[in-house]
Amino acid sequence: MQWYLKVLKQYADFNGRARRTEFWMFTLFSAIASIVLGIIDTVIGTASVYGSGGTYFYSPGLLQGLYALAVLIPTLAVTVRRLHDTDRTGWWVLIALIPFVGGIVLLVFMCLDGTPGVNQYGMNPKQEVAGGYPQGGYPQQGYPQAGPQQGYPQQGGYQQPQQQYPPQQNYPQQPQA
């Protein structure tokens, strides 16, 4: 629910980047809300189902239509920010207007992992910003980052002795005069 509210708070913000989690959780909650409102529309009679010969069509009702209009701008904004996360311009959202193929291409773009580090659209959204410095996530490009800390140090009693290859032979030493 926090991801849904986050998108609504950034109602018309087309700048920056959005994580996959942010996009897909918003999409999930929007789909659930649309289904619930569609059921309510059908019960109160503002939606209609019509058809014949085994083919039926559903016409959305008043509540579902109002909800679709209310989330149109946030949906476009989070989609553009998601495209930014994959280092693509927001204009790629228009590919969805191409029948069949466009929607599939956009779906693939929405499923791809974001660009690690900073890209032309901003910081990696997987990184938390604390005190102005990115924390966690991917290392910044061009800057080395320390590796993960080891859990417990290895105890000396469990290590195998180091051997040289080939093993050195011990020759008797001549006493020095």
What's the number of domains the chain is made of? 1
Which of left, alpha, beta for 45 (phi over 0: left; psi -120 to 50: alpha)? left
In a domain, 98, yes or no: yes
In a domain, 16, yes or no: yes
The pLDDT, as a whole number, for residue 177 is 61
The pLDDT, as a whole number, for residue 45 is 84
In a domain, 20, yes or no: yes
What is the spatial distance between Cα 89 and Cα 92, in angstroms, rounded to a whole number? 6
In a domain, 150, yes or no: no
According to DSSP, residue 100 is labeled T
Question: Per-residue DSSP letters for 102-152?
Answer: HHHHHHHHHHSPPPSS-BTTBS-TTSEEETTEEESSSPPTTS--PPPPPSS
Lowest-confidence segment of 20-24, 30-34, 161-165 by average pLDDT: 161-165
What is the spatial distance between Cα 77 and Cα 138, in angstroms, rounded to a whole number? 25
pLDDT digits (tens, 9 = 90+) for 24-52: 999 999 999 999 999 999 888 888 777 77
In a domain, 134, yes or no: no
pLDDT of 55 over the 70 cut: yes
In a domain, 175, yes or no: no
pLDDT of 10 over the 70 cut: yes
Q: Which domain holds residue 79?
A: 2-116
* Segment (H or E) for 49: strand 48-52
In a domain, 125, yes or no: no
What is the spatial distance between Cα 89 and Cα 80, in angstroms, rounded to a whole number? 8
More confident residue, 145 or 27: 27
In a domain, 89, yes or no: yes
Mean pLDDT, rounded, of the chain: 81
Joined tokens for residue 55: 């083919």
Q: How many CB atoms lie within 10 A of CB 33?
A: 17
The pLDDT, as a whole number, for residue 14 is 94
What is the spatial distance between Cα 85 and Cα 118, in angstroms, rounded to a whole number? 9
- Helices then strands, each counted (H, E), the chain: 5, 4
* Residue that has been written with the tokens 């890209």 in this structure: 119
